[in-house]
């Protein structure tokens, strides 16, 4: 399901470029997806960072760095 949604969004992005070449597409997509993922997991865990880190499969310090990077504190 996520793959299909991602494909649809990437295809829409290409359409919106109207023939222009994309730039730094990997970084753009990864940062957009990761910020939403971290934010959503934090919401579902009631902002419990230990639980959120477990759900994401990362350590708590990494989660905190991502929260700071995406201004989710």
Whether residue 1 lies inside any domain: the answer is: no
pLDDT digits (tens, 9 = 90+) for 41-68: 999 999 999 999 999 999 999 999 999 9
Provide the mean pLDDT of the chain.
96
- Asked whether residue 70 is domain-assigned, the answer is yes
**pLDDT class for 73, splitting at 50, 70, 90?**
confident
Query: Does a structural domain hold residue 25?
Result: no
Contact 68, 39 (CB under 8 A): no
Q: How many domains does the chain have?
A: 1
CATH number of residue 58's parent domain: 1.10.10.60
Please compute the mean of the pLDDT values over residues 7-31 and round it to a whole number.
94
Residue 23 falls within a domain, yes or no? Answer: no
* pTM across the whole model: 0.84
């Amino acid at each position: 399901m996520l793959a299909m949604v991602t494909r649809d969004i990437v295809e829409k992005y290409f359409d919106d470029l109207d023939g222009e070449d994309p730039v730094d597409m990997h970084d753009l997509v990864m940062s957009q997806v990761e910020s939403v993922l971290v934010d959503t997991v934090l919401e579902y865990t009631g902002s419990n960072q230990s639980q959120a880190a477990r759900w994401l499969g990362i350590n708590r310090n990494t989660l905190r760095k991502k929260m700071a990077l995406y201004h989710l504190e």
